[in-house]
Structure 1
């Protein structure tokens, strides 16, 4: 069970052997490694795969003050937002610790939502990124289109008396299309179980939310100089598609692929189509990297 240490926090990661350049999958806010299971399977034949647990998620430590974590949410959440929460810089440093521990010199980063923010920050601050695939994410800052208030309330305000499973279903409803959830009841049941097993605790989730709230790379994303694929669903109710368009405009040479009618978790709902795009992009990025190294 490999682990890296970042600023005193133990970060767990999974590693699957493969012949090609490593691909690293970085999760969204509160989500466990389960969210990438379809993409991990799709690239495993051609690439080594690394899947870290974001701090506070899965088997990684949260690194939060115990006293704060034990407080009621009404007292805890403001403290985590203003004083004790994470930053995207913290999470990018965790990623660097994982890649260093794994002995990875160059890796393709695939990040969704908050994970896409971590990937952006990482590509700007560190030198191991070979390419970026940025799903349903934003560069943050004043130009970014915020999470709609209705969605925010759905994610963070849970009906009183709801069970743990009911809470999970309530929170993730805006991330899927109703058509998908209605047609895949058994899969939704499995996702609830995966989330119970792997997702962040409430305090860690709130600490991750603080990282997202404070993120702003709008003035620096133009510094990204690796092949970049921006992928977004046009019906994303969590991170509106305008954010993907802004990202693609600001990152030099970025490709933008929109999935018409796609939800926030479009890469789960339309896994086959997304995987085809991802494999093609990774192959192109790998060839470009080899050409650059050959002429260096």
Structure 2
């Protein structure tokens, strides 16, 4: 099982690799959202693995990757720990972009088609601006950050921050509500149960989620996106209650070689709920102009 080490701070990042040719120097890399484990890309990995090489890393603090937070800090009571990890001692998107560079270097990837969702889209933007391996970008349900970005609705933030009584499974289910369409969750109770189990197994620990939240909250590349010179696909759902769809339009305005595809009725997890639509857009984009050599 492959691990890569970020030489800047020694954090070790776990990643998985799909596809027939493990020696390929070009691959699609899937970058996770805040707190979410590798399970979130399950539908895209299944759709892409037969045609493209796929790299799926765990963000720092997630799954099998190192947490990169001192044990003393992690053991503090939440009321003390949380302000520290979302503030002065948070991760940074720069660090996580460097983690991604370490993974691609370890995997021998010369050119990467970087696909990121939510916080993963922030990492993807930073990576494309700071490093040279990105051949294309796909940005799902994300934002460029900064004062011009459209913020999360207050009602959603309250739901995500609430700690209702009950089991860990019940708390996860409550906090997941804004990310999904109610109609989808009502029609797929067994899948939602499986997602809860995947989250318990693979998601970031609570301290790591706090550190990731701090990184996402301070992210801002709004004044740099005009420098990007790689093809970019922007995907977003109209009913995203976490990152409002207006952020997709702001991204398109700032990234020169970009196009936007809006999924009507799509939630924040639209790449799961509407996976056929998203995968069709993604495959078409990757194959366009022979960007991916098969």
- Name the residue aligned to 2:132: 127
Inter-CA distance 252–8: structure 2 relative to 1 (3 Å threshold): same
- The root-mean-square deviation of aligned C-alpha atoms, in Å, is 1.2
- Name the residue aligned to 2:106: 101
8 Å CA contact 1:25, 1:109 repeated in 2 = yes
Q: Gaps spanning 5+ residues in structure 2: where?
A: none
Q: Is 1:239–2:268 an aligned residue pair?
A: no
CA-to-aligned-CA distance 1:8-39 (integer Å, 9 cap, x gap): 11110001134573110000000000000001
> What number of residue pairs does the alignment pair up?
288
8 Å CA contact 1:24, 1:110 repeated in 2 = yes
- Name the residue aligned to 2:263: 259
Inter-CA distance 2–288: structure 2 relative to 1 (3 Å threshold): closer
Inter-CA distance 145–100: structure 2 relative to 1 (3 Å threshold): same
Q: Gaps spanning 5+ residues in structure 1: where?
A: 291-296
* 1:1-296 superposed matches below 5 A: 1-6=1-6, 7-18=9-20, 21-159=26-164, 161-284=165-288, 287-288=290-291
Question: SS of the counterpart of 2:87?
Answer: helix
8 Å CA contact 2:35, 2:204 repeated in 1 = yes
Work out the CA distance in 1 between the residues paired with 2:291 and 2:175. Answer: 40
Task: Give the TM-score normalised by structure 1.
Answer: 0.95
More helix per residue = 1
CA-to-aligned-CA distance 1:128-170 (integer Å, 9 cap, x gap): 00111100000000000111111112112211x3211011101
CA-to-aligned-CA distance 1:70-102 (integer Å, 9 cap, x gap): 111111111112211101001000000000111
User: Which 4+ runs in 1 deviate beyond 3 A?
Assistant: 18-21
Work out the CA distance in 1 between the residues paired with 2:51 and 2:280. Answer: 13
Question: SS of the counterpart of 1:181?
Answer: helix
Work out the CA distance in 1 between the residues paired with 2:120 and 2:197. Answer: 22
Task: Give the TM-score normalised by structure 2.
Answer: 0.96
8 Å CA contact 2:19, 2:51 repeated in 1 = no
8 Å CA contact 1:117, 1:138 repeated in 2 = yes
- Name the residue aligned to 1:294: none
